[in-house]
């Protein structure tokens, strides 16, 4: 494993990563100063120098750390192979945005149409669902100003001043005017509202077109989010004011003095929860759909889209399995 002078290495011109987090590079450079580069860069020879294939962040951080040489593994790769390697290496990284992933997938199809003729082929190659790639690609239909607002998930949190790509897809689906799309994306990225509030804002912005987005956000934030369930026989007591207290074993943490809470009358049966199962939405199968009420998988997907706006196979969901407890 040779060490190569850093000045003989060039960045990867085919790298899908459009931006690098400054804080992330600072942390990596500090680590390199203290411990060196723990994993060599994968490079290929190009004319009289080398080009990074895998390890662009390490390359940039090594420059920042002031290293003269770095360990490398040298392999000969064609542009086609470099594109594939970078896609497989980077597409699952949380610090790569959906827009960056979409652009690389589109470039694969444009450059090599015979090899990557469909999204299904790319999905199979990189090990994700076709619906996931289609979701990424849909972000490219948004105005550039909105694309730039779509953040990658760093440390399980959308960076400040950004929106997640599912919110961006909701904007694309429900709001057709590009200027309105930019207004909504800008306001949501600056306000950093909860996901359920963002969905409400997008729905209102699509139907209340003259209303300023800032006003819509304020109204949506005032809407009740937490819920208290009451028995049907308690309904009139709540409304006529004779019931002014309810004692519960557990209370939603959002319920606090001054909070607006929605009162629900929902109890028509007692259910015993038999199991909780965590799954990716894309792993929900025909049997799961049947247990939802006799749906086919396609019917369940349509119902989900109607309820939540989009079907994102990467979303984690909880399957609450239950049985009815007979009334005594």
Among 22-26, 29-33, 129-133, 174-178, which stretch is predicted with the lowest mean pLDDT? 22-26
- What span, in angstroms and rounded, lies between the C-alpha atoms of 57 and 20? 8
pLDDT at 266: 64
Task: Identify whether residues 153 and 210 lie together within a single domain.
Answer: yes
Average pLDDT along the chain: 83
Domain containing 39 equals 3-90
Does residue 217 sit in the same domain as residue 245? no
Q: What is the pLDDT of residues 308-323, one digit of tens each?
A: 777 888 888 888 887 7
Q: Would you say residue 108 lies in a domain? A: no
Q: In DSSP terms, which residues pair with 154 in a beta bridge? A: 157
Position 154 scores a pLDDT of 62
pLDDT digits (tens, 9 = 90+) for 80-120: 888 788 777 777 676 778 898 898 888 888 888 888 899 99
Are residues 291 and 314 both part of a single domain?
yes
Is the CB of residue 183 less than 8 Å from the CB of residue 213? yes
Neighbours of 313 (CB within 10 A): 17
Whole-number pLDDT of residue 144: 94
> Residue 284 — φ and ψ, nearest 5°?
-65, 130
Whole-number pLDDT of residue 48: 87
Q: Where are the beta strands (DSSP E) in the chain?
A: 3-5, 9-10, 41-46, 49-54, 69-74, 226-230, 261-265, 270-280, 316-325
Could you give the dihedral angle defined by the CA atoms of residues 75, 77, 81 and 85, in that order, rounded to the nearest 10 degrees?
30
Strands 69-74 and 3-5: antiparallel
Residue-level pLDDT at 249? 66
pLDDT in tens, 207-237: 876 788 888 888 777 766 677 777 777 777 7
> Is position 133 within any domain?
no
The total number of structural domains in the chain stands at 4
Phi, psi dihedrals of residue 233, rounded to the nearest 5°: -70, -15
pTM beyond 0.85: the answer is no
Q: Which of 195, 222, 249 is the last residue of a domain?
A: 222
Residues 74 and 43 in one domain: yes
What is the DSSP code string of 121-182? HHHHHHTS-HHHHHHHHHGGGS-HHHHTTBPP-BTTBPPTT-B-HHHHHHHHHH---HHHHH
């Amino acid at each position: 494993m040779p060490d190569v002078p850093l000045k003989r290495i060039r960045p990867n011109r085919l790298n899908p990563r459009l931006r690098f987090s400054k804080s992330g590079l600072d942390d990596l450079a500090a680590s390199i100063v203290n411990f060196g580069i723990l994993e060599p860069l994968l490079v290929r020879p190009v004319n009289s120098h080398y080009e990074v294939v895998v390890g662009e962040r390490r390359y940039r951080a090594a420059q920042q750390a002031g290293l003269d040489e770095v360990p490398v593994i040298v392999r000969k790769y064609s542009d086609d192979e470099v594109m594939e390697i970078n896609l497989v290496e980077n597409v699952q990284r949380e610090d790569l945005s959906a827009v960056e992933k979409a652009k690389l997938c589109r470039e694969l199809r444009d450059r090599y149409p015979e090899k990557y003729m469909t999204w299904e082929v790319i999905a199979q190659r990189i090990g994700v669902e076709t619906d996931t790639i289609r979701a990424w690609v849909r972000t490219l239909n948004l105005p550039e100003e909105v694309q730039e607002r779509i953040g990658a998930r760093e440390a399980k949190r959308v960076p400040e001043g950004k929106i997640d790509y599912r919110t961006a897809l909701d904007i694309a689906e429900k709001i057709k005017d590009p200027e309105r799309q930019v207004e909504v994306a800008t306001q949501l990225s600056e306000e950093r509202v909860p996901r359920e509030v963002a969905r409400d804002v997008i729905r209102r912005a699509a139907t209340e077109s003259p209303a300023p987005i800032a006003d819509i956000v304020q109204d949506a934030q005032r809407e009740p989010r937490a819920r208290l369930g009451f028995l049907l026989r308690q309904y009139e007591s709540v409304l006529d004011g004779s019931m002014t207290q309810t004692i519960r074993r557990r209370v939603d943490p959002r319920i606090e003095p001054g909070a607006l809470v929605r009162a629900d009358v929902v109890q028509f049966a007692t259910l015993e929860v038999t199991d909780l199962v965590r799954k990716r939405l894309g792993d929900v199968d025909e049997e799961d759909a049947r247990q939802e009420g006799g749906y086919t998988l396609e019917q369940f997907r349509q119902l989900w889209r109607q309820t939540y706006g989009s079907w994102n196979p990467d979303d984690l969901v909880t399957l609450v399995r239950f049985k009815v407890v007979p009334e005594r």
